[in-house]
Amino acid sequence: MTQLNNLILVKASIYLLKTEEGGRASGIKTGYRSDHVFEKPKNINDFKSYGGQINFDDQEFFYPGEVKIVTVKFLRNPIVEQFLKAGQKWYIYEGPRFIGEGEILEI
C-alpha cells in the first residue's frame, strides 16, 4: 500500500457512466474529488462514502462512457483501509448521484 503522509494511493480502473445511464453530462479533470462507496447501500439514502481524489496524466479530460486507468488518493483511515485490496470494486457518487464504478488494480 503506497502511503504518502496521510494519503493512500491506489491504481484503479474507473468507468464513468454515460449520460444516458444517469452519469454526468460533462467530463472530469484530473484532481476530481468524488464520493467513493465500497458497500452497496440497501437504501440509496443510507450509504457511507469516503472522499477520494481521481488523478490521471495522459489527457486533460475523462469523459462519460470511457474507462481509464487512474490513481485515486484516499485519506488514511482504518475504515477505508479495510476495503483497499486488489480486485475490490466500488461505486463513485457525486452527492447522491451514482456516476461511475471502479476496481482496484494495485495498491
We report the CATH number of the domain holding residue 78 as 2.40.30.10
Q: Are strands 2-4 and 50-55 parallel, antiparallel or unpaired?
A: unpaired
Number of domains in the chain: 1
Task: Give residue-wise pLDDT tens across range 31-44.
Answer: 999 999 998 767 76
Give the confidence band of 47 by pLDDT, cuts at 50, 70, 90: confident
Nearest Cα neighbor of 68 from 26, 105, 33 is 105
Q: Which residue range forms the structural domain that includes residue 52?
A: 2-106
Task: Give residue-wise pLDDT tens across range 54-107.
Answer: 999 888 899 999 999 999 999 998 889 999 999 999 999 998 899 999 999 998
